[in-house]
Every structure is written in structure tokens, then in C-alpha cells.
Amino acid sequence: MAQAASVTGASGAGSAGVVVVGASAAGTATVETLRRSGYDGPLTLIGDEPHPPYDRPPVSKQLLSGEWEAERLLLRPAEEYTELDVRLRLGVPARALDTGAHRVRLADGTEVPYDSLVVATGARARSLPGTAGVSGVHVLRTVDDALALRTALADRPRLVIVGGGFVGAEAASVARSFDCEVTLITTGEAPLSDVVGPVLADALAEVHREHGVRLVTGTRVTGLLTEDGRVTGVRTDGGPAGGTSVPADVVLVGIGALPNTEWLAGSGLPLGDGVECDSRLYAGHDVWAAGDVASWPDAVSGTRLRIEHRTNAAEQGRAVAANILAGPGAAADFRTVPYVWSDQYGLRLQVFGLARGTGETQVVDGDPAQRKFTAVRVRDGRVVAALGMGMFRQLRTLRELVAERAPWQPESLTC
């Protein structure tokens, strides 16, 4: 196992300290934990966006709807970074990493030295081929994305959403509150079907239909229709019915995200679906990774994971900070029970564990049709996730089954 360098007490003359690339939830948790744990060396936080670090889950919920303004999303007041003696470098993306020289090169040409580096550059929204430069086509990942889409929705356009994941489902809910005509197109059997399974997905799909969303399932978008550089609709493969087109004034592409690792090409770090770390989130060369960009071998499931959840980002940031301070030989493996939530039409779906992928969904309590239930996802005979709506206390009791990947034994449940 590769050994990590310690920076404990690295406050002497000439120390480069810890540099965190990514002004994200993971990056903020890293610098805050380092300082509050006694690290007194130089600490730099670099971000490609001009905004101070902010919370991403409200971007597709409260910010998009207009319930909140952007300032409310800030993870910390600006003065807190001064109090923590953290140097912020915002609006300047990292362009390259020289692990031999321990330097990060930024887009403005400056180079930032480090003793330990944390990569927390997150992920970016996937785009559809042929959408670049087409007016009326949006993604939803950043504050600026949400504000641009919110402005577009205010005109009550015909909105086509490409993708049936969390972003697409949440945006559909918000768009209907603007009284927009909404069509959601997904390759799955229903929105979120790959996360919650067919029984729960059918119940959630009915909620969308009740609120006036047109669902087009089992269908792939193959291209855009445009006129004078502006989108006018989308082309689809039509599923079993054959190719067709759907008119649109605005299109939202919500087909997942890609980890931001391009700037690390040639650095010598192991790259795949993210920065490929060991079980301690260590990537070698005094470099760690945390958040959406980090890939690591999970000791419980035995698989390599990369998780795009807010709670996971903060947990990994804190874990990396602790491991940097612990030094070689004392760094701990990272373990977690992932948690994610989704707000749609005043309902909150909550998920513990790794629900996405193959498996069976078993309802434990309540009734999905009544929008009040708990359920588990079972894979290879073991509980890999717990899901619920309107029954959080009961859902919490299922969390331990997920943490242990317990065998599925419904007769032993007492909730």
C-alpha cells in the first residue's frame, strides 16, 4: 500500500502546506476539519467558479424554484475563511498537476506549491452531442445553471427534460410550479426506475402524471431540432413506436455527470472513472481525493465506488483531513452508508445505501401508492439500500441492515 506524507505541524519556514483544488462541499469540509483539528500550516482552497463554496442540492430545488436566492446556498460566510486562515483562490481553474515538483498550475499561469494536495474538483453535467452553442438548451449543475434555467422557466415555455434521474425529476416538479408544459423523456421504464425499482418507480411516475407531466419512457433522444441557432424540439428513437419529434422552447439535459479529471492528465495519478484512490482515499504522490471525483474500493461491497452525493462529499472531506494529519501508517479506511434525498411536489424521497443497479425492491412498511412507505433494495440476497417517503423514523431503523449488507430476512423486521 502506498504511503502518504504527513504534514502535521507543517508551519515552519518554507512549508507549502495543504492545497485543496475544488471549492466544493468536500473541499470546504477538508480545510475546516484541518484547521479545527489543530493544523496550523498554510492552507489554500482553489475553485474554478467565482462563487464562494456553496451547497449543491438546493440548486435543483430551492434555487431553481426561486424559494431561495444564491446567497443562501453558501456553505460558510466569507469571513469564516478569513477566521480559519484559509487562502481562497476563486474563479481560476486548475489546468495541470506536476506531482514530481508538487505544484498545481492554474489557468492564469501561476503555480501553487503544496506538501499535500486534495483533489475535490467534483463532476460536471454530461451534455448531448450537438448541443454546444444552441440557445435554449440547459444543464443543471451550478448556481449559474439554475439561475439561467429559472429565468427561462419564468416565460412558461414548453420544456423537454432529457433524462429521468434525480435532476430531471426535480426540475419537472419545479417547472410545473411555474405552470410550464413539461415532457420528460427517459430511456428507463419510469423516472428513477434504475434507483428505486419498478414498483416504486411506477408510484412516483403517477405523481408526475397527476401534476401534468407528460412521461415518454423507453425512449432515447437522438438529436435536436433547431431554427436560427435556437432549439425548437428534440428527435427521439421513438422506442417501439419508431422515431418521432417532440416540440420544445427549452430543453434541459439531465443525463448524469462526468468527474473533472482532465486537468490531471499526465500527472501520474491513476485515473479512470474519477481519481482512483486506495481505501484511505489516497491516490499516491502526496495526493488525496474527496467528493464526486473520488473513486475508492469499498470494503463492504467489494466494488470500486464513486458517489455523487452531498453527504458523501462532506464525509470524505473530513476523512481526508483526518488521514493527512494522521500520517503514514495511521490513515484509516473510508467507510460510509451513502445517503441522498430528492424533493418532488412537496414529497421527499430518502435513500440510504447503493440503490442504483440491479436488484429487487421489497416494501417493508406503508404503501407507495399512498406516498408513505419504507422499502429495501435486495441484491444477491443482501440488503444494499433502504428507501422511504414520509416515514423517516422507520427508515432509520433499516439503515443498519444496509451498513451490514445484512441477509434479507423479512420475518426478522420489527418496524
pTM: 0.93
Evaluate whether 383 touches 398 at the Cβ level (below 8 Å).
yes
Indicate the average pLDDT of the chain: 93
Beta strands in 170-228 (DSSP E): 181-185, 214-216, 221-227
Q: Which pLDDT score, from 0 to 100, does residue 299 have? A: 80
| Residue entry with cell 463492504 | 300
Residue 255 amino acid letter: I
Taking only the tens place, the pLDDT of each residue in 134-164 is 999 999 999 999 999 999 999 999 999 999 9
Rounded Cα–Cα distance for residues 147 and 70 (Å): 9
Evaluate whether 326 touches 332 at the Cβ level (below 8 Å).
yes
Q: Which pLDDT score, from 0 to 100, does residue 21 have? A: 98
Task: Find the radius of gyration of the CA atoms of the chain.
Answer: 22
* Residue ranges in the chain whose pLDDT is less than 50: 1-6, 8-13, 414-415
Rounded Cα–Cα distance for residues 68 and 61 (Å): 9
Evaluate whether 319 touches 332 at the Cβ level (below 8 Å).
yes
Rounded Cα–Cα distance for residues 7 and 13 (Å): 13
Partners of 276 in the beta sheet? 295
Rounded Cα–Cα distance for residues 287 and 119 (Å): 7
| Residue entry with cell 487562502 | 87
186: left (phi over 0), alpha (psi -120 to 50) or beta: beta
Q: Which pLDDT score, from 0 to 100, does residue 18 have? A: 98
Instruction: Compute how many other C-beta atoms are within 10 angstroms of the C-beta atom of residue 262.
Output: 12
Helix, strand, coil percentages for the chain (3-state, nearest 5): 30, 30, 40
